[in-house]
Copies of this chain bind each other. A is one copy, B any other.
């Protein structure tokens, strides 16, 4: 940001004059960028996208799209030149490129010093442990024999193995029951992190948003239900969650954001253990699936607050608008004609909020989500699950 907005505004004279709103550059053209653009339209921002292809989910709906490879520094430098700030749809931009952009004067938010903790699970675990954040027991393991040693240190198999980089939605994660099953993770040539298998009651997520000047807002802690390692249902707020534990989770997320220097949205995925503790599972430094409910369920959505944060604008109210909001992901199924299903869902439930990503249908792929809200959790759950199942084709009425 070579010239501050205010200075630029003063320099301009005469009518008509363009309102000097900033340009937000987003790297990655997935559904998170699509929904961030949607949230940015009422904010009057100019939105610029770096997308792998012109068909990507966000590229379909954004006016100013650069098609290019985010792994190429020259592409990033050129892209950043037209932006007041750059932010991300995913965590895959090489950290050394982000450092080069920062050295070049680009506002990178979240910055590389924060993002490295979302990219590398080994770095994340080391840092969280250092600042006293409760995590599952863990250490980097060298080979299958070392996995057995880790298992013996922590109460035996099964053990969770994760490549420290490149995993998402259950990819890059293995549940290992014996030494002979522990070969695969080491084949990627990436360090492998072993973690105890936590005896958890359920999974929670604490979503917060933090701005460069240190303002932060915390959304209600949600329950996140996974099916086959993929998020299926999110309930906001998490039902029957002890108020003190909820407060602890929010404080933990705020503390992590501050200690790691996160700017923008931070999702802290948590285990609630059978004995009433919370342990950090994963971090994401961008709008997150566990926050999609905020589009229809909170005063300010995670997408709007992410954009406000990366621009250092005052943050919006994160409080819920309804007693209960439920989000269910819509996965691609064997049922190809999603538009006809969509019609049925709208007719059945005029209050249903559908969010489609414009993505090609592949079985198991996230192609959209639905939100429902209301005073009655059972009703909201039934409606969201029905719509998601009907769109996928697993429910025929």
Contacts and interface: CB of A to CB of B under 8 A. Distances in A.
Interface of A: 5-6, 9-10, 12-13, 15-22, 34-35, 37-38, 41-44, 46-47, 59-63, 65, 295, 299-300, 308, 313-317, 321, 332, 336-340, 342-343, 346-347, 350-351, 353-363, 365, 367-368
Contact of A38 (B38, B336, B360): B38
A19 B365 CA distance: 13
How many copies of the chain does the oligomer comprise?
2
Given A19-B361, A340-B5, A360-B18, A317 B351 contact: yes
B20 A337 contact: yes
A360 B17 contact: yes
A17 B336 contact: yes
Contacts of A314: 343, 346-347, 350
Nearest to A59: B63
A19 B339 contact: yes
Given A42-B354, A44-B357, 15 more contacts: A5-B339, A6-B337, A9-B339, A17-B361, A19-B356, A37-B41, A38-B42, A41-B61, A42-B295, A42-B356, A61-B63, A63-B63, A300-B350, A313-B346, A316-B346
Given A10-B337, A337-B20, A356-B21, A361 B315 contact: no
A384 to B, nearest CB: 15
Contacts of A343: 313-314
Contact of A339 (B6, B16, B342): B6
9 contacts: A16-B361, A43-B356, A44-B342, A44-B358, A60-B63, A313-B342, A314-B343, A314-B347, A316-B350
A349 to B, nearest CB: 9
Nearest to A337: B9
